[in-house]
């Protein structure tokens, strides 16, 4: 089969690789659409020691199941496998299972390929009429769904009355805004330094936008801050913006641990939550919201052939992509 293979820092190559074997414990899925995630970019830059080349990256996928209980059906893929036995899995917090594994982290090859294999329990059937490139967004949008849910649980007011600011206008940030809207938020603002990303974010829903280097809201006025980027600068912005008693939900993994104003957080009782991916329940809720059309028309994505994946990575690196998400089509 053909696949886009990460071969070294800053290099991916479209080439022939062995097709995954079907087995009784794994479903074989013919990939129809797969998104490029920020974590794929981190791996591409050599910034993730877990992703060692040569490796097929990619984990935001939708396709047709060719074996298993969903054979012949379009499915969206939850790329995280867990043990199902530990206290976290039993509590419904399977996203922090100590034995969790993810497509595109060895020994599991990823989804930038014509086929992937994964346990059937990780597949969610997609109704007729839902485009595969939309169904593939269940994974990145579930990250935002999870963060909004956790943040809302810790607010001292209904989400509908909260001022929400999302730092980062990529797919995680725009997805978090759409999920916040679906969960009841009414005052939602997205921040991004890129004029192209701000324009895309503004068109994605009833949101406001701002440039973090210029026209940010007043400090200490935001009830819920979602840090969808996760850098020293964005954490500093998050703590500056957070209102007394407010909540910061930190999704991004851009790097480092500095940036938090812990003195302000202590004096003003600001809650900080690390939010990692999503639970299986969050994934199903997000998929249902996509299938029901509650998360918009996804005009903020761009489709490209998998064979042109190398140029997509380069264009993302060079800031030439206005879309919040590039989806590759095998």
CATH code assigned at 164: 3.40.50.720
Q: Is residue 289, in this structure, part of any structural domain at all?
A: no
Q: Is residue 291, in this structure, part of any structural domain at all?
A: no
CB distance 110 to 14 below 8 Å:
no
Q: Could you give the CA distance from residue 227 to residue 259 in angstroms, rounded to a whole number?
A: 12
Give the chain's domain count: 2
- Residue 318: give its domain's CATH number: 3.90.180.10
Q: Could you give the CA distance from residue 140 to residue 134 in angstroms, rounded to a whole number?
A: 11
DSSP letter at 26 equals B
Pick from 295, 306, 299, 296: which is nearest to 324 by CA?
299
My answer on whether 183 and 113 are in the same domain is: no
DSSP letter at 276 equals -
Along the 330 residues of the chain, how does pLDDT read in single tens digits?
999 999 999 999 999 999 998 788 899 999 999 999 999 999 999 998 999 999 999 999 999 999 999 999 999 999 999 999 999 999 999 999 999 999 999 999 999 999 999 999 999 999 999 999 999 999 999 999 999 999 999 999 999 999 999 999 999 999 999 999 999 999 999 999 999 999 999 999 999 999 998 888 999 999 999 999 999 999 999 999 999 999 999 998 887 789 999 999 999 999 999 999 999 999 999 999 999 999 999 999 999 999 999 999 999 999 899 899 999 999
- Full-model pTM: 0.95
Domain that holds residue 96: 2-137+298-329
Q: Is residue 226, in this structure, part of any structural domain at all?
A: yes
Q: How deeply is 266 buried, as exposed, middle or buried, from its count of CB atoms within 10 A (0-12, 13-18, 19+)?
A: exposed
My answer on whether 84 and 183 are in the same domain is: no
My answer on whether 19 and 108 are in the same domain is: yes
**Residue 154: predicted pLDDT:** 97
Q: Is residue 199, in this structure, part of any structural domain at all?
A: yes
Q: Could you give the CA distance from residue 47 to residue 62 in angstroms, rounded to a whole number?
A: 26
My answer on whether 132 and 166 are in the same domain is: no
My answer on whether 17 and 85 are in the same domain is: yes
My answer on whether 256 and 206 are in the same domain is: yes
Q: Could you give the CA distance from residue 5 to residue 7 in angstroms, rounded to a whole number?
A: 6
């Amino acid at each position: 089969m053909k696949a886009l293979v990460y071969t070294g820092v800053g290099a991916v190559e479209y080439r022939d690789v062995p097709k995954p074997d079907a087995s009784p414990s794994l479903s074989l899925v013919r990939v129809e659409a797969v998104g490029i995630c920020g974590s794929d970019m981190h791996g591409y830059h050599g910034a993730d020691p877990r992703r060692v080349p040569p490796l097929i990256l990619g984990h935001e996928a939708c396709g047709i199941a060719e074996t298993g209980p969903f054979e012949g059906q379009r499915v969206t893929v939850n790329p995280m496998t867990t043990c199902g036995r530990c206290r976290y899995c039993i509590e419904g917090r399977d996203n922090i299972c100590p034995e969790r594994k993810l497509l595109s982290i060895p020994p599991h090859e990823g989804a930038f390929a014509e086929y992937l294999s994964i346990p059937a329990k990780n597949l969610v059937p997609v109704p007729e009429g839902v485009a595969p490139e939309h169904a593939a967004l269940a994974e990145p949008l579930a990250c935002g769904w999870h963060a909004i849910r956790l943040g809302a649980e810790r607010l001292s007011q209904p989400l509908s009355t909260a001022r929400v600011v999302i730092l980062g206008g990529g797919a995680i940030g725009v997805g978090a805004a759409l999920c916040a809207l679906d969960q009841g938020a009414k005052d939602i603002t997205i921040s991004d330094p890129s004029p192209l990303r701000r324009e895309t974010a503004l068109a994605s829903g009833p949101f406001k936008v701002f440039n973090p280097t210029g026209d940010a809201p007043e400090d200490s006025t935001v009830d819920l801050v979602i840090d969808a980027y996760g850098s020293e600068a964005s954490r500093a912005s998050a703590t500056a913006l957070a209102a007394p008693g407010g909540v910061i939900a930190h999704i991004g993994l851009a790097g480092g641990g500095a940036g938090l104003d812990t003195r302000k957080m202590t004096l003003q009782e600001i809650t900080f939550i690390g939010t990692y991916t999503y639970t299986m329940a969050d994934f199903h809720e997000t998929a249902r919201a996509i299938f029901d059309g509650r998360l918009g028309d996804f005009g903020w994505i761009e489709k490209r052939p998998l064979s042109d994946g190398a140029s997509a990575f380069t264009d993302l690196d060079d800031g030439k992509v206005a879309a919040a998400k590039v989806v590759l089509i095998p």
